[in-house]
Structure 1
């Protein structure tokens, strides 16, 4: 089919000042966000005008965000983070925005200072890259006071705040439910490291809860996060009734697919994607937790943990690692020892493979399903802890 192409200059030249008087309702769809595609093909999530604006305003729950704020973002505008929490959030406030066209770790803080930004938006991968780019003494002077971010590993959190002299305000959302959860308490002592906080606008009819495998609510503990409330989420996936029926239950709750821990005070902590929980001899292991520990090794820039089928234990853990710039090799036994000092024995990776790069989405998220599918076709899964250190359990845990 041939497309009709119109030049903006021609449209403007032929336009007039008459008002088309088009009425817009708050329930009308205003945009379609596509899911990141880390666990499968991206799906379109249409959002209404009201949901879109509530999502944008939810960033304003950060106590330091106000009309004098100047936000810096280098994230792409097709992504909800930049579009909602930077551009539209600042427009709702009448505040300032600095929009960069790419992420440059070395020039990042120079740009922030050049444009006098008071804070910046980030995703977890950017935080890790900035952390490995700069040493304690290498961080340039800058004007940012805090960062609004989703997905900061606990191991990185306090180190990042100290090194870059910023406060971290952790948040959580999904393309389907873009109104934020936020760890936004005005008093820093009451912000819990590792938590993405509580749901914003819970007083406006938004419902959230944690449920177990039988869909029973868990008041405090671990389970899947589900949400409800027509003003806060999409009504369906675009032209995908099967996918819609898989994510919504009979009572209208949308299932996130995220395993979350909720504490006694109502603070939420990300555990892992439900599809990335690794079952090792009947034990549930969070890939996110394993990666957090592996990434804290001084030679490692980034990692990805995936399950590998095992005929006896069901699944074993494989970790892919990318080394920091300038480091060409690492002692695998040192990585196992590093993990053993910080993880239960059944969470220590069995297989390790060094890679030069990861398959990633356009927003820098590792495509773990690609790694997982490729691994299924392989007979050799890389360096094998059981072969190279046969007495590792006794050596590190005194378990024979």
Structure 2
């Protein structure tokens, strides 16, 4: 049972218990990329910086319930600003640095922020978003003086509650624009508590754990299962700017990591690299993540001498429902997620709305056992009560993931029911990509779906009705146009020029037929590979 009221509260207790232990660690490689100092910062030092930030935000006139956009890439300072904003009851809205103009404009409009804080290179983009969204929020650069939003400082009488919103993370909407997941203090407190007490292969101790992650800090994994876990046990978190395959194991060694987080794309890349004498020269006891290629699971563990614990969760579920294969037998090489914890209620629902008791696949429905079935879950979709109620139809959270259960009670991932493309750890809504591409003046119709990718799990395939020349050059022009308007990973890696799209009798895109056609069209002369253009967009 969590007794702390907020993230700031639990961090303060960690400072009292472990003041001189390192909280954050910046490796020289990351420091050089970002132009920041390398080395460790203790809990006590971090707390002093947080208190300074609290003073600045308070002087700017921020109030409990205000929302602040924060774009800091993967800089460790993000965590200090998050905790400082939490002390005032202000809701942080992390911004993916890969987002481009139309996406920033949408979030700027939908989130209704009072302020944006960002790195200097992205100030023009956020200022444009403030203007185009008609929200006209001020933009402050990290390290510079904050604008005054209110002439008087907030009163010191804010008392945090577990149910207060602490963050709002945008997830890919499957039927429209991205949804803002409102996440409470309790959401994060439960995550830290879950990891600290998970036991099994991914056991954490209070003896000085050191975790390393290359995952985006603007996603739930790094915020909940990395930062909150380390705070819960007095551990140290090393955050990389991103995953660097050639220096990964050296990073693990330099960080003295006892555990690491991964995405499925990472083992695939690491296994493709030449064997090296130092492959097993590390101190990491386990890796925690999801999505490893089943056929690589056993070979990876044998080559690098580290167990990889596959797990399932969503931004919406948080620690309210987690499935993790953290005890033996883990059934490696079978896409096994493990056994649901005792705190979970689970149901596998058939297409006919009848629960499946046997081993047939169906949609995974979850909730917390007891009188509070939503405990640990997201609070709501911001400004979208209808979508929140739909997600919780019948008192269960509908995950949109297809799973099966074996006779031992272990769960196995099968597919995604929702029209989401999973690429290198990013969830991409097909309708999100389609809505942007339809703004192109020469595109008459478009449909997007996933096609398999040996490294990234899936790639974005676009079938486009196009009346102009159907050439590689035209396909690349569409991609370059798209790169100016959406994150690089969303733009199509394959474009097929078609005369018509597969439609249902009600004139909707026939998604199943589209997926089958995409596989057949990959080698067609009217399908063009544009993956070479999909690179992270550098800001000058």
Q: TM-score, normalised by structure 1?
A: 0.65
Structure 1 residues 264 and 145 mapped into 2: Cα distance closer, same or farther (>3 Å)? same
Matched residue, 1:130: 270
The residue matched to 1:197 in structure 2 has which SS? strand
Q: Deviations over 1:123-156 (max 9, x none)?
A: 1112212221343657362222211011122111
1:110 Cα offset (Å): 0.3
Give the aligned CA root-mean-square deviation in angstroms.
4.1
Is residue 257 of structure 1 aligned with residue 396 of structure 2? Answer: no
Structure 1 unmatched ranges of 5 or more? 12-16, 278-286, 296-300, 310-358, 385-400
Q: TM-score, normalised by structure 2?
A: 0.50
Q: Please tell me whether the aligned partners of residues 459 and 493 of structure 2 are also in contact (alpha carbons under 8 angstroms).
A: no
Matched residue, 1:197: 338
Matched residue, 2:233: 93
Q: Please tell me whether the aligned partners of residues 257 and 273 of structure 1 are also in contact (alpha carbons under 8 angstroms).
A: yes
Q: Please tell me whether the aligned partners of residues 74 and 101 of structure 1 are also in contact (alpha carbons under 8 angstroms).
A: yes
Matched residue, 1:214: 352
Structure 1 residues 374 and 105 mapped into 2: Cα distance closer, same or farther (>3 Å)? farther
Matched residue, 2:381: 237
Structure 2 unmatched ranges of 5 or more? 1-134, 147-152, 368-372, 421-448, 464-481, 503-516, 525-540
Comparing 158-167 with 364-373, which one deviates more in the overlay? Answer: 364-373
Q: Please tell me whether the aligned partners of residues 174 and 419 of structure 2 are also in contact (alpha carbons under 8 angstroms).
A: no
d(CA) in 2 for partners of 1:212 and 1:94?
44
Among 201, 221, 225, the alignment partner of 2:364 is 225
Matched residue, 1:313: none
1:6 Cα offset (Å): 6.3
Counterpart mapping for 1:1-400 below 5 A = 1-4=135-138, 20-36=156-172, 41-60=177-196, 61-63=198-200, 64-67=203-206, 68-135=208-275, 139=279, 141-179=281-319, 180-185=322-327, 188=328, 190-193=329-332, 194-200=335-341, 202-203=342-343, 206-221=344-359, 222-228=361-367, 229-249=373-393, 251-275=394-418, 291=452, 295=454, 301-302=455-456, 304=458, 381-383=521-523
Matched residue, 1:331: none
d(CA) in 2 for partners of 1:127 and 1:47?
30
1:248 Cα offset (Å): 2.6
d(CA) in 1 for partners of 2:238 and 2:348?
37
1:245 Cα offset (Å): 4.2
Q: How many residues align?
A: 308
d(CA) in 2 for partners of 1:262 and 1:244?
27
Q: Deviations over 1:247-294 (max 9, x none)?
A: 231x221211100011222211110101469xxxxxxxxx99x95xx8
The residue matched to 2:237 in structure 1 has which SS? strand
The residue matched to 1:50 in structure 2 has which SS? helix
d(CA) in 2 for partners of 1:373 and 1:275?
23
The residue matched to 2:348 in structure 1 has which SS? strand
Comparing 17-26 with 211-220, which one deviates more in the overlay? Answer: 17-26
Q: Please tell me whether the aligned partners of residues 261 and 287 of structure 2 are also in contact (alpha carbons under 8 angstroms).
A: yes
Matched residue, 2:42: none
d(CA) in 2 for partners of 1:374 and 1:274?
26
d(CA) in 2 for partners of 1:75 and 1:143?
20
d(CA) in 2 for partners of 1:305 and 1:26?
40
1:372 Cα offset (Å): 9.1
